[in-house]
Amino acid sequence: MLLNASGCLDALTAPETARQLDAFVTKTVTPLGREGNPPVRIAETDAGMLNSIGLANPGRERFLDDVLPRLVELGVPLWVSVGGFSAEEYAETCRAIDATDDVTTIELNLSCPNVDEAPESAAEIVAACRSATRLPLYAKLSPAVPDVGAVATAVEAAGADGLSLVNTIRGLALDDALRPVLGTGTGGYSGPALKPIALAAVYAAFRAASLPIVGMGGVTTGRDALELIAAGASWVALGTVLFSDPDAPNRIREELAAELAVLGFDSPGEARGAAHRKASE
């Protein structure tokens, strides 16, 4: 039930960490290779981290020919994060991944604050991808929308098999001279301060749609993971914590088991949605 957030772990340089996970999510793959944004790309803040990587990746062909075979050797179920700048680009990559037998799930990166997004709606992109692949499709959504529940309902109707909530939210950090720290000015904000935003999004999506949810955002402890599960998540993804604690998956899994036992739950599944049951009492 533990994943990594896309882009927060390089499994080929940290295979021991990747093997602690129940599934590994790749960096976002785009049709053509991308160098990414100019430096500075990462900046620490008081309560998290800003990044402006810009979807740097080798592109679809090199990923499928070179990177994917090496990831398969890890022996961990693989989710591929797919990005693009039009619905057809997303669909083309899904079609190419579908032709392999090495991927269990596709996550559609529908909300990256560091690049221009496709002009089509999330639902239109999901629909295009649904026609291109038989693999499960998880729609990764931004918390920076007026109604996360409405978007969740729309992508469910378009054929999504699950949701990933949430992506980073746009933020800014200034240096001592009051200039933006990142080369692009703003970037995607993650870390502990993102957790209340993630909880709210998961809570809303659980109430609006019937899809399984991967909850992520600010998870550093087993208690954090449990709260996302209580809000409605079936899976939990770890992000910023992996930069500082390569043993985080094992530790958080143990902490989660202890937290469940204290509250009288026999499994994470029993705790899923508990916040909604409490709210209705």
Please write the tens of the pLDDT for every residue from 264-279: 999 999 999 999 996 6
Q: Under a CB-based contact definition with an 8 Å cutoff, are residues 22 and 252 in contact?
A: no
For residue range 183-222, what is the model confidence (pLDDT) as tens digits?
Answer: 999 999 999 999 999 999 999 999 999 999 999 999 999 9
Question: 281: pLDDT confidence band, cut at 50, 70 and 90?
Answer: low
Q: Under a CB-based contact definition with an 8 Å cutoff, are residues 194 and 47 in contact?
A: no
Q: What pLDDT shows up at residue 1?
A: 86
Q: How far apart are CA 213 and CA 244, in angstroms?
A: 25
Q: How far apart are CA 52 and CA 79, in angstroms?
A: 22
Q: Under a CB-based contact definition with an 8 Å cutoff, are residues 56 and 34 in contact?
A: yes
Closest to 239 (Cα-Cα) out of 36, 56, 39, 49: 49
Question: 115: pLDDT confidence band, cut at 50, 70 and 90?
Answer: confident
Return the active site residues: 112
pTM more than 0.85 = yes
Q: What pLDDT shows up at residue 279?
A: 64
Q: Under a CB-based contact definition with an 8 Å cutoff, are residues 238 and 244 in contact?
A: no
For residue range 49-94, what is the model confidence (pLDDT) as tens digits?
Answer: 999 999 999 999 999 999 999 999 999 999 999 999 999 999 999 9
* Exposed/middle/buried for residue 66 (C-beta within 10 Å: 0-12, 13-18, 19+): exposed
* Residue in the structure block whose two tokens are 């604050």: 113
User: Average pLDDT, stretch 23-36?
Assistant: 97
How many helices, marked H, and strands, marked E, lie in the chain? 12, 12
Closest to 197 (Cα-Cα) out of 244, 150, 142, 137: 142
Question: 112: pLDDT confidence band, cut at 50, 70 and 90?
Answer: confident
* Residue in the structure block whose two tokens are 């790309």: 41
Closest to 184 (Cα-Cα) out of 175, 172, 167, 168: 172
Question: 236: pLDDT confidence band, cut at 50, 70 and 90?
Answer: very high
Q: Under a CB-based contact definition with an 8 Å cutoff, are residues 187 and 52 in contact?
A: yes
Which residues lie closer than 8 Å to 61 by C-beta, 6 or more apart? none
Q: Under a CB-based contact definition with an 8 Å cutoff, are residues 54 and 199 in contact?
A: no
Q: How far apart are CA 103 and CA 126, in angstroms?
A: 18
Domains and CATH numbers, the chain: 2-38+55-174+191-280 (3.20.20.70)
